[in-house]
Structure 1
Amino acid sequence: MKPIKLGSSFSLVASVLARNVHAQCQGAEVITRDIAIVGGGATGTYAAINLKDQGKSIIVIEKRGALGGHTSTYHDPTTGTPINYGLQLYHDDEVSRSFFALLNITVSGGTFPISKIPLYIDFTDGSPVLNYSIPPLNEDYFQALHKYPYLENGLELPDPVPEELLLTWAEYMEQFNLTDDAIATYSRPAVPGDLTKILALYVFNNLNTVMLEEELEGKIIVNANGDLAEPYSNALAELGSDVLLNSVVTDGQRGSKPADGVRLCVSTPEGSKRVIAKQLVFSAPPVLENLEPFGLDERETNIISQFEGGFYYTGVVTNLGLPTNYSYVNRGQKTQSHVASLPGVVMFNPTNVEGTYYYWYTSLSDLTKEQVETETRDTLKLLQKTVAGADANAEPQFVAYKSHTPLHPTASADAIRKGIYRDIYSLQGYRNTWYTGSLLVTGSSQLWNITSQLLPRIIAASEQ
């Protein structure tokens, strides 16, 4: 009998697993790998490229038709100009540059995306919010942030968790005299949910040193051609048949010991496939809906079920019927610190293609593409009636859309108090499964950083 590269004990188990899969996968092609990666966003792609670079065999299972996750790029059909309507920039640090080097990406210094004179408008009635501006953050915020270094690159919290971090941000600012920073901290566009009710812990976790370095020190890089999806298209070319696009796991079984491995039934455009792997990296958002096919046990279910929320959507629209020399930003006329009302469009921001804007939309519940675009159109028709120089007869044309839900799911103060993040970290490696993604951090470089720290443990587990 010839030796088998993946190890005889694993291969023996794999042969048993291959005979014991969901009926949908009976007779399907079997794909055997060291590591299966579910989710081809920032962390899944980073893990795949780096694991392959270190000699591991991998398979990536991605439900969309491209890699990239929250990176969304639309190419104007007339000019070919890339329009980034999700991720807007990359942090300039070693982990980003090393990743881009692996992908043969040329980078250069960048700036914040194009913007024009902002018009602050209450999108619920179209009225202008006068005498409004966004001030810089005060030193008080930086001092407060630096009190909690464990929030910067993850959520490995002390026990007990400081009670002030479990206050709402409004309560925290009041207690620690940070109310002068209210408008600055409430003005962040890419945060789902009600900013007046978000916990202080999540404000510091999101508005952290990395983000502030980008904003205040210009530590930004972009790929030279301006197409932020290029790293992921290059990664797809590099990974080739090791990526299953437009594919979802329909059934999964995971063993309790490394030798047991993982078996998955995957629905692909070419039919069902059976995946047999030693370890599983789950880089999609770890919420019950996404993990249902993987046969969660009681421990996993009790932990995962405590995370929810993060309803966020983005798109590109043309023919707005509004003057093109402005950005349009949603601010409440009578709300606390002029926070925008939910659900609704966060802003319409111009692009390098005249008359084409990207928009971001946040909600308190999950919405369909039709619902988001209908509500966005209604907002534009309202603004056409109230903005000077608008054309009320223009019909907006929606040319791109992506749901980013769930974006950075959160837990309740009580769950955090009881150790939910300690529990989520304790799941690393449990039943041959590893979690990485935007549950713990949000920026791409931070996602790559926490994944890079996890990879040696994943590799070691795959070699047992």
Structure 2
Amino acid sequence: MASLLGATLKAFRLVWICLAITLPSAYGFEKRSYEYKPEDIITRDVCIIGGGSTGTYSAIRLRDMGKSVVVVEKKDVLGGHTNTYVDPATHIPIDYGVIDFHNLSIVTDYFTRLNVPWTTAMFPSTQELYVNFNTGKVVDGFAPAGQAAFAQALDVWISHLEKYPYLSNGFFLPDPVPADLLLPFHDFVKKYSIDALVYSMFEYRQINILVQPTLYVMMNFNLDLIQNILNGFLTTASHDNSDIYRNALAILEKDVLLSSHVIWTDRDSSSEYVKVGVETPSGRKLIQAKKLVITIPPKLSNFKGFDLSQNESSLFGQFSNVAYYTTIVKHDGIPENLSVVNIGPNTPWNLPTLPAILSIYPSGDPGLHEVKFSSPYELSDDAVKAAIVAEFNQLHTGGAVASATTPEFVAFDSHTPFEFSVPADAIKDGFYKKLYALQGQQRTWYTGAAWDVHDSSLLWQFTETLLPAIAA
């Protein structure tokens, strides 16, 4: 009898282990063991995961197209990488995340819809000091490329962009992919002698562009960006870009679940609805939606609890990313009207060695400076702050800015993961064709920076192309 009982318990234990393996949070336990009350069930046409730039845009546009929506956002505000700090002493707003927008009708129409006045973005001129942040010493003899050399290199670059007009719509690549798009960018620069353009490109992307396939540099330093560099960007008239998302929230109201995250999804095609379990500050909710729009970065770690297909998991697992951090500091000893720029004295095209501060520049509010920090890999917030403090101290001891002191952080945000990419071989093998083929599968659509270009204005354009199918 004891042996029979033991065998039964052993069999039960094996069944339980199998269930634990085959019923992860995506499928079983979270959703099958929790009973949702009627008042905790939200039924909508579309559920949008992520309330950043593209998620908010999608919600407003779909609402205007007559669709009911609900947005799930993990932060306590909408806006994603839009960060605004308001100085409590001067009440001056400082946008230290997303700063400007392209002068496009899709931007001005959206601002008009949200009742957000806009103006031409103005960037005050400052004195620039070029410093090797590793030593804290001024880089003697460094100067940006001259106007004539820059213009000549820009003309060459534009001539290459014009060869690939399809890139203005996203990663819609021909087969075979043109060889120049697959070249590491440092090889492309040498091949076409556009050296005078490299540092300016780096300043706009603020990551190590030299190691990227040229495709990504073309996507980011595109014709529309160049047009706005030459003719002027837009920004909010209040110089507070968070107005966009405050006004959007006022329109969407209770259709936004802030400080909330997905704990499971079920996209079973035999069901009338896609189902999403969400943890919110007021308890668990069950969302039933006809369609799902996912705007969060496609890192596998972000999809815990999602019922990803094997194809989705395989594609998302190929992405890599870099890291980017933005902050505002005070009591730093940096003179007003001085921008301190990190330069590599003996590196290719003088790009700084990362991770490091990219630049320190005036915020427009006396006593406060913006600091941008970039890394080829992810760091903790504490590690980034410690590195920034060390580099400020190096400016002092190295003598480039003898008055520099240990800064006090008044605002900080991580824009990590930043700049998704895959290797050239994956691009050549049709990665983006396979990625875009996910659109509409399992009643799910994807948008966000990994799907086009890390730029709010152009992401709104990309998202607009998906809306007819989502709203159908």
TM-score, normalised on structure 2?
0.89
Q: Which structure has the greater CA radius of gyration?
A: 2
Alpha-carbon contact 1:323-1:390 (below 8 Å) kept: no
Counterpart of 1:124 (choices 131, 134, 140) is 134
Alpha-carbon contact 1:251-1:264 (below 8 Å) kept: yes
Change (3 A) 1:19 1:386: closer
- Which residue is equivalent to 1:248? 261
Letter in 2 for 1:140: V
**Structure 1 residue runs of 4 or more that deviate by more than 6 Å after TM superposition:** none
Counterpart of 1:159 (choices 175, 190, 194) is 175
Counterpart of 2:100 (choices 81, 84, 89) is 89
Write the distance in 1 (CA, Å) between the matches of 2:137 and 2:361: 18
Counterpart of 1:133 (choices 131, 138, 143) is 143
Answering whether residue 222 of structure 2 is matched by residue 208 of structure 1, we say: yes
Write the distance in 1 (CA, Å) between the matches of 2:295 and 2:165: 24
Write the distance in 1 (CA, Å) between the matches of 2:317 and 2:382: 28
SS of the residue corresponding to residue 169 of structure 2 reads coil
- Which residue is equivalent to 1:376? 388
Alpha-carbon contact 1:153-1:441 (below 8 Å) kept: no
Write the distance in 2 (CA, Å) between the matches of 1:356 and 1:156: 43
Change (3 A) 1:389 1:299: closer
Alpha-carbon contact 2:138-2:400 (below 8 Å) kept: no
Task: Give CA deviations for 1:390-428 in whole Å, capped at 9, x if unaligned.
Answer: 335x33110111111112210111110111100111000
Change (3 A) 1:330 1:23: farther
Write the distance in 2 (CA, Å) between the matches of 1:356 and 1:31: 44
Percent of residue pairs identical: 37
Answering whether residue 247 of structure 2 is matched by residue 234 of structure 1, we say: yes
Write the distance in 1 (CA, Å) between the matches of 2:389 and 2:465: 44
Change (3 A) 1:126 1:395: closer
Write the distance in 1 (CA, Å) between the matches of 2:415 and 2:199: 25
Q: CA deviation at 1:19?
A: 11
Write the distance in 2 (CA, Å) between the matches of 1:133 and 1:422: 42
SS of the residue corresponding to residue 348 of structure 1 reads strand
TM alignment of 1:339-378, pairs within 5 A = 339-378=351-390
Counterpart of 2:237 (choices 224, 227, 242) is 224
Task: Give CA deviations for 1:115-142 in whole Å, capped at 9, x if unaligned.
Answer: 5111111111112122323333521111
Count residues with an aligned counterpart: 438
Alpha-carbon contact 2:206-2:358 (below 8 Å) kept: no
SS of the residue corresponding to residue 133 of structure 1 reads coil
Write the distance in 2 (CA, Å) between the matches of 1:26 and 1:345: 50
Write the distance in 2 (CA, Å) between the matches of 1:408 and 1:26: 40
- Which residue is equivalent to 2:429? 418
Write the distance in 2 (CA, Å) between the matches of 1:389 and 1:169: 33
TM alignment of 1:46-445, pairs within 5 A = 46-111=57-122, 113-135=123-145, 136-137=150-151, 138=153, 139-188=155-204, 190-192=205-207, 194-218=208-232, 220-256=233-269, 260-387=272-399, 390-391=402-403, 394-439=405-450, 440-445=452-457
Write the distance in 2 (CA, Å) between the matches of 1:75 and 1:97: 24
Write the distance in 2 (CA, Å) between the matches of 1:94 and 1:431: 33
SS of the residue corresponding to residue 47 of structure 2 reads strand
SS of the residue corresponding to residue 420 of structure 2 reads coil
Write the distance in 2 (CA, Å) between the matches of 1:337 and 1:389: 24
SS of the residue corresponding to residue 246 of structure 1 reads coil
Q: CA deviation at 1:88?
A: 1.2
Q: CA deviation at 1:80?
A: 1.1
Write the distance in 1 (CA, Å) between the matches of 2:199 and 2:211: 14
Q: CA deviation at 1:431?
A: 0.8
SS of the residue corresponding to residue 345 of structure 2 reads coil
Task: Give CA deviations for 1:71-125 in whole Å, capped at 9, x if unaligned.
Answer: 11111111111111111111111100111111011112222x3351111111111
TM-score, normalised on structure 1?
0.90
Q: CA deviation at 1:21?
A: 5.8
Write the distance in 1 (CA, Å) between the matches of 2:198 and 2:235: 30
Write the distance in 1 (CA, Å) between the matches of 2:97 and 2:363: 13
Letter in 1 for 2:36: G
SS of the residue corresponding to residue 156 of structure 1 reads coil
Change (3 A) 1:413 1:428: same
Change (3 A) 1:277 1:198: same
Answering whether residue 47 of structure 2 is matched by residue 31 of structure 1, we say: no
Alpha-carbon contact 1:310-1:406 (below 8 Å) kept: yes
Task: Give CA deviations for 1:46-65 in whole Å, capped at 9, x if unaligned.
Answer: 00011111211111111111
Alpha-carbon contact 1:34-1:58 (below 8 Å) kept: yes
Alpha-carbon contact 2:54-2:460 (below 8 Å) kept: yes
Task: Give CA deviations for 1:356-393 in whole Å, capped at 9, x if unaligned.
Answer: 0111111122111111111111111111223456335x
Q: CA deviation at 1:25?
A: 4.5
Q: CA deviation at 1:255?
A: 2.4
Task: Give CA deviations for 1:28-61 in whole Å, capped at 9, x if unaligned.
Answer: 5111111000111111000001111121111111
Write the distance in 2 (CA, Å) between the matches of 1:404 and 1:27: 35
SS of the residue corresponding to residue 364 of structure 2 reads coil
Alpha-carbon contact 2:328-2:412 (below 8 Å) kept: yes
SS of the residue corresponding to residue 67 of structure 1 reads coil
Alpha-carbon contact 1:255-1:432 (below 8 Å) kept: no
Change (3 A) 1:185 1:278: same
Counterpart of 2:31 (choices 13, 22, 47) is 22
- Structure 1 gap segments, 5+ residues each: 1-17
